[in-house]
Amino acid sequence: MLLELKSRLQVESCEEYLSRLYEKIEKSQLNGFTTLAKESALEQAKEFDKNHGKGLLAGVPIAIKECISTNGIETNCSSKILRGYIPPYDAHVIERLKAEGAIIMGKTNMDEFAMGSSTETSCFGPTKNPWDRSCVPGGSSGGSAAVVAGGEAPCALGSDTGGSVRCPASFCGIVGLKPTYGLVSRYGLVAYANSLEQIGPLTHTVEDTALLMEVIAGHDERDSTSARGQNCSYLSGLKNGVAGLKIGIPKEYFGEGVNRDVEKAVWQAIHKLEALGASWQEVSLPHTRYALAAYYVIAMSEASSNLARFDGLRYGLREGEDKDWHTTFSAIRAQGFGPEVKRRIILGTYALSAGYYGRYYLKALQVRTLIKEDFLRAFKEVDILASPTMPIPAFRIGERINDPLSLYMADVFTVPINLAGVPAVSVPCGFAGRLPIGLQLMGPHFGEATVLSAASAFEAATPFHEAVPEVI
């Protein structure tokens, strides 16, 4: 789709195309965008129409999640405490997008500081699912997924700490990739949990995801966790098919807690891959049952440390008259952070406190190692793994927000991937009523090419990626 759009923009007006998108956004009921860079974007479109600049994404508009720094465009992580903060620099991924001619449309709504699975904790209010506006779009990159699925942007970037790209991709019926940890630079990504998060694309097709990965992947000296020597072409391998591919089906990812429609659609997808030449076998990831607990201890601990920097004293929220440091600091954070962020900071601080660090945080790190070893063993037997992305279809807005445990449980099939650091993609594989279902394909470290090739083969053999929601 993006390659077709690039070709079309060589003969049609990029400015007119972008203006139509902004007109649609202004009438939208999705609440997907928080900030629009309309003036600068239209100026770039005019420049493109005049000179037809070169680059892999020349003239292509893209939406950016609120937690990715954009020079001159507000970056507030959908939190009151950062309202008004305009970064003086671009994230590494933004630099790469601009170097390839992409046009930054604006910033998209998200769960506050990426803490959530429904995009309901945002200070801007919830984003709505284009397939059913009474339902959530998933989170935390719900705004990015909703604007792509709703036709308000041709592609977007999100970030994935425990499923925050794949969850909304599944709920909104689009493609979302969580890359291998270290493959995409985190420089300029506002940190939630440093050891878990990765920036990833949200698009209509697997080819579009591969194209964006061609642009954003690669080593960056400014990110100490950035991998070296892993550059490859993700587009060139998309036609390899799945003949001879061995697919592992983790038995822990099916059964109790999985919606019947979801399980049926995913098994039909597995059988479709089998018909295309792949084979499958059951495998075990035995430490999966400990993944959620380990993940939330690690993520909340890292969040409590990372979010200590947001105090309103240097930038961000500053309301009322200053008193002594402790009183002012506490008041700003009490006003600026929402309930879910406060909950995670408190739990994370507790887990890191004297007397509990060894009992919780260190133990969670040990479990993380066991989970990673599960994946390494599995990939000695098979090439990729397949499972549901989410155990359920999108739920109603307000249905789970007051029950944090049920929200956390929704991440059961996505968080192990972040703990292990391996790549995973979600592709549309069916519907539960009118709500999309996602198939999750997981690969070994730096196995994006194989995962995307399998996803592309499935996509080419099925019609699900062509379905369009009826949105206003």
DSSP 395: P
Tokens matching residue 427: 């592709």
Residue 257 contacts residue 409 (beta carbons within 8 Å): yes
Superfamily of domain 2-251+380-466: Amidase signature (AS) domain (3.90.1300.10)
pLDDT confidence tier of residue 34, bands split at 50, 70 and 90: very high
- pLDDT tens track for 45-81: 999 999 988 899 999 999 999 999 999 999 999 999 9
What is the spatial distance between Cα 34 and Cα 320, in angstroms, rounded to a whole number?
26
Structural domain boundaries in the chain = 2-251+380-466
pTM of the model: 0.96
Active site residues: 65, 140, 164
- pLDDT tens track for 164-218: 999 999 999 999 999 999 999 999 999 999 999 999 999 999 999 999 999 999 9
Tokens matching residue 167: 């969850």
Percentage with pLDDT > 90 across the chain: 87
Residue 272 contacts residue 245 (beta carbons within 8 Å): no
Predicted confidence at residue 122, as pLDDT, reads: 98
Predicted confidence at residue 329, as pLDDT, reads: 80
Q: What angle do CA 214, 218, 219 make, to 5 degrees?
A: 170
Q: Report whether pLDDT(9) > 70.
A: yes
What is the spatial distance between Cα 163 and Cα 416, in angstroms, rounded to a whole number?
9
Alpha-carbon separation of residue 82 from 67, 105, 343 (angstroms): 10, 20, 18
